[in-house]
Structures are given as structure tokens and as C-alpha cells.
């Protein structure tokens, strides 16, 4: 049984060189019980408490996750102190479950890897102090993990992807386009100038009170929008994609959110209903927002592909675009990206939806 005794002390981040030296330090010893390095990954950067045990060949030996979505839906967004408390309540159980499922004894772990940034400071702190306790108890090495690098590299668990490749990370907290040249060698090409697309979808879903919609009450905002959009007409009204004149690969979603809010207010007046009631045109609004967001994401990604090819940063044929993060689990967005990659002789790869959203496997 893992025991969390007291808060860990000062955390010193080992240098990249030390981490690589550590990773290289394992040799193959015939006859020993475990031939592979086995890593426990712990993720608490936002609102999911997740852990997984993965071996060096990418086999997932055990996994567990506790999602806080339902609690945060009720409070209309993530309250950091609430997220922190929920992580504290669940982390020991989740790590224990992942280890039990893997049938690996903690003493047989090769290392413990934990998200250290970026994310909500209070949430990150829970995973970090828990991990450092464990590292101290078990006398195991610690591997600090960058959450976005983990999202970007997850695809290498399911597909053989060579460097360099282009990555599009679209989630509730992040939105970026980067050229991945190595395990921790990223060239940032563009990012959101304001909020992330998942955040925008969550805000629109809240404004539409989709939590009260019988089909969407337990879904995240983004998932609820995707679900309703299937029943809606995306041509119901027209919203211009943001930054359509900007000659770079940056994104913006605040304007889209604000224009959509105005539309919702207008519709509420027309339908004679109050904020908090479900509009009859909610599905049309969901379809329009999803479509406009997808167009914007695709246009910015198209610019990144052209830029990288022009500078020979990506191969001219069969360059790989990886899309990951919670919003990349949206099938409308995936289809739009697929049209782009077909037209530019690229290959689109997306981790399966459960590996797109936050999880412990990507950290391990
Ligand atoms: O990657 P993730 O689990 O956590 C962050 O690092 O943010 O992403 C969560 C975000 C939320 O904003 C959620 O609404 C959005 O991803 N999301 C979706 C879908 N599923 C989750 N957005 C669009 N379509 C979906 N199917
Ligand atoms: Zn994430």
C-alpha cells in the first residue's frame, strides 16, 4: 500500500542531460525478471487524476483515471481549489489502481514520471508532491514531464512516426502548432492569442445551458457541442473565421465566443426565453460554432504546412500532421483536417480519442 505521509520538500528539476543519461543507463540483462524499463506516469495538471504503468516498448500494463468533469460542470467551470481537493481525494487510489492492474510491484518500477507544467498550479502541486513522496519512499528516479510534449509524443505509442512532424495541440487549456524535431526539440509555429478552442466550446456550451439538455448533461462542453451539432444546420447563420487576414499561424477564439454570445442573446429575444433555458436553435448554434472553429484551425494549420514545406522543415511528400488534445477527439475537426492533409500530400495521425484527452499513459 502506498502511503502519503507528509508534503514533499523542495523540488529540483534534473537537467535534460541527466534524464537522458538515466534513460540510457538501462542494459539488457538476460535472466532478470523484468527485461524492460517500467515507468509509472502521473497526471494532475488540470481536472483529471490519472496514472498508468507503461513499459519501454509502449505496452500499457495498467491504467486508471478519475475525471472531475461532472463536478466542474455543476460549478460552471473549473474552480482550482476544488480541483486540487479532488486530486488529493483520489490520487492515492488512482495510482494504486494503475499499479494493481499492471501487477507490477512499486519496487520493480524503473522510474516515476509526472507532469510538472503547464497547468493549474494547485492541481500540478498535488501530483508533484505525491510523486516526490513516492520517489523518496521507493528510491526511484523522477522524470519531470511537460504536459504538451506528452500530448505531442503520444502518437508514437500507436504509430511509427519519425521526426520531424507537425503537431497541432488543441485542448481546453492549450492551442499550438509546433514542428517536432526530436523528443524535446520543438519549434513553436503558432499559438492562441487568447483562449484555447476547448475553453471557447466550454463557454458556449455553458451559455447555452447544455448541462440542462437531457442528451448532454454529463458531457464536457466540447463533447456536448459535437453531439448537438450533428442535429443542427451550420449554415443557419454566418460567422467569419477569426484572424483571416493574419499572415502567421496564430489562433484566436475569444471573438468567436463573443459573436456567438450575441447571437444567443438575439435568439433568446426572438424566442422569448430567458438565459438558462434551452434555445430551439441550440443545435444550429452548436453546428455553426463547431464549423467556424474547424475552419479556423484548418486555415492556420494549412499555413504551417506551407511554411514548413517552403523551408524544407518537412518532407514535400507524406509529411505527418499529428492532431492531439481534447478538441482533436472531435470528429468534425478531424474530418476537416483530413481534407487538408489529403490536399497537401500529408498524412493525418490522431491518437485514439481516449489518448487525446488527458491521461496517465501519455505521461508514462
Ligand atoms: O486535453 P484535455 O482533456 O485537457 C486539457 O489539457 O485541456 O481537453 C479538454 C477539452 C475541454 O475543453 C473539452 O470541452 C474539450 O477538450 N473536448 C472536446 C471534445 N471532447 C473534449 N472538444 C470538442 N469535441 C469533443 N468531442
Ligand atoms: Zn491536456
Model pLDDT, residue 18: 59
For residue 326 and ligand 1, the question of a CB distance below 6 A is answered with yes
10 in any annotated domain: no
Model pLDDT, residue 66: 95
Specify the residue with its C-alpha closest to ligand 1, atom 16: 326
Ligand 1 centroid from CA 208, angstroms: 17
Q: Are residues 197 and 282 in the same domain?
A: yes
Q: What angle do CA 101, 104, 110 make, to 5 degrees?
A: 130
Pocket test for ligand 1, best of 175, 192, 198, 335 (most atoms within 8 A of CB): 198
For residue 201 and ligand 1, the question of a CB distance below 6 A is answered with yes
Model pLDDT, residue 27: 42
Q: Are residues 215 and 96 in the same domain?
A: no
Model pLDDT, residue 47: 86
Model pLDDT, residue 274: 87
236 in any annotated domain: yes
Q: Are residues 114 and 169 in the same domain?
A: no
Domain of 112 in residue numbering reads as 38-140
> What pLDDT, in 10s, does the model give residues 192-248?
999 999 999 999 999 999 999 999 988 999 999 999 999 999 988 788 888 988 999
Ligand 1 centroid from CA 222, angstroms: 6
pLDDT under 70: residue ranges of the chain: 1-35
Q: In the listed set 72, 107, 140, which residue is the last one of a domain according to the structure?
A: 140
What distances in angstroms separate CA 45 from CA 147, 313, 323, 339, one per listed residue? 8, 31, 20, 33
Q: Are residues 169 and 125 in the same domain?
A: no
Model pLDDT, residue 64: 97
The bound ligand whose nearest atom lies closest to the alpha carbon of 46 is: 1
Ligand 2 centroid from CA 55, angstroms: 22
Q: Which set of grid coordinates corresponds to residue 130? A: 505525491
Q: What is the 3-state secondary structure (H, E, C) of 153-214?
A: HCHHHHCCCCCCEEEEEECCCCEEEEEEEECCEEEEEEEECCCCHHHHHHHHHHHCCHHHCC
Contacts of 7 (CB under 8 A, 6+ apart): 129
Q: Are residues 79 and 207 in the same domain?
A: no
Cell 510523486, residue located: 131
135 in any annotated domain: yes
User: Within 10 Å of residue 245's Cβ, how many Cβ atoms?
Assistant: 4
Q: Which set of grid coordinates corresponds to residue 187? A: 519549434
67 in any annotated domain: yes
Q: What CATH code is carried by the domain that includes residue 285?
A: 3.30.420.40
Q: Are residues 253 and 334 in the same domain?
A: yes
Number of compact structural domains in the chain: 2
Ligand 2 centroid from CA 119, angstroms: 9
Ligand 1 centroid from CA 353, angstroms: 10
> What pLDDT, in 10s, does the model give residues 32-79?
445 689 999 999 999 899 999 999 999 999 999 999 888 887 787 789
Q: In the listed set 98, 123, 140, which residue is the last one of a domain according to the structure?
A: 140
Q: Are residues 185 and 315 in the same domain?
A: yes
For residue 164 and ligand 1, the question of a CB distance below 6 A is answered with no
159 in any annotated domain: no
Q: In the listed set 107, 123, 140, which residue is the last one of a domain according to the structure?
A: 140
Q: Are residues 202 and 329 in the same domain?
A: yes
364 in any annotated domain: no
For residue 172 and ligand 1, the question of a CB distance below 6 A is answered with yes
Amino acid at each position: 500500500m502506498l502511503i502519503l505521509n507528509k508534503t514533499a520538500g523542495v523540488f529540483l528539476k534534473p537537467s535534460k542531460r541527466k534524464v537522458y543519461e538515466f534513460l540510457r543507463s538501462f542494459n539488457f540483462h538476460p535472466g532478470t525478471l523484468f527485461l524492460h524499463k517500467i515507468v509509472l506516469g502521473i497526471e494532475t495538471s488540470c481536472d483529471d487524476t490519472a496514472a498508468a504503468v507503461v513499459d519501454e516498448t509502449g505496452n500499457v500494463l495498467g491504467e486508471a483515471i478519475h475525471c472531475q468533469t461532472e463536478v466542474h460542470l455543476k460549478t460552471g467551470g473549473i474552480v482550482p481549489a476544488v480541483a486540487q481537493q479532488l486530486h488529493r481525494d483520489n490520487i492515492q487510489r488512482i495510482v494504486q489502481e494503475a499499479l494493481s492492474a499492471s501487477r507490477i510491484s512499486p519496487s520493480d518500477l524503473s522510474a516515476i514520471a509526472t507532469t510538472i507544467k503547464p497547468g493549474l498550479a494547485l492541481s500540478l502541486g498535488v501530483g508533484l508532491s505525491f510523486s516526490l513522496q513516492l520517489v523518496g519512499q521507493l528510491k526511484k528516479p523522477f522524470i519531470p514531464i511537460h504536459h504538451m510534449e506528452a500530448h505531442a509524443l503520444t502518437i508514437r505509442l500507436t504509430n511509427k512516426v519519425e521526426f520531424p512532424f507537425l503537431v497541432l495541440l488543441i485542448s481546453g487549456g492549450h492551442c499550438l502548432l509546433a514542428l517536432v524535431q526530436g523528443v524535446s526539440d520543438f519549434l513553436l509555429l503558432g499559438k492562441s492569442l487568447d483562449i484555447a478552442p476547448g475553453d471557447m466550446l466550454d463557454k458556449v456550451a455553458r451559455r447555452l445551458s447544455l448541462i440542462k439538455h437531457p442528451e448532454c448533461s454529463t458531457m464536457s462542453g466540447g463533447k456536448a457541442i459535437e453531439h448537438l451539432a450533428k442535429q443542427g444546420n451550420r449554415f443557419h447563420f454566418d460567422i467569419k473565421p477569426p484572424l483571416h487576414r493574419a499572415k502567421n499561424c496564430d489562433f484566436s477564439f475569444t471573438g468567436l465566443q463573443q459573436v456567438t454570445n450575441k447571437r444567443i442573446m438575439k435568439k433568446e429575444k426572438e424566442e422569448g426565453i430567458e438565459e438558462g433555458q434551452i434555445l430551439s436553435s441550440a443545435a444550429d448554434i452548436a453546428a455553426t460554432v463547431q464549423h467556424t472553429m474547424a475552419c479556423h484551425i484548418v486555415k492556420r494549420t494549412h499555413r504551417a504546412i506551407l511554411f514548413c514545406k517552403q523551408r524544407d522543415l518537412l518532407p514535400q511528400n507524406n509529411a505527418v500532421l499529428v492532431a492531439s488534445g481534447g478538441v482533436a477527439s472531435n470528429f468534425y475537426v478531424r474530418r476537416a483536417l483530413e481534407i487538408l492533409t489529403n490536399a497537401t500530400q500529408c498524412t493525418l495521425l490522431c491518437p485514439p480519442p481516449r489518448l487525446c484527452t488527458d491521461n496517465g499513459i501519455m505521461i508514462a
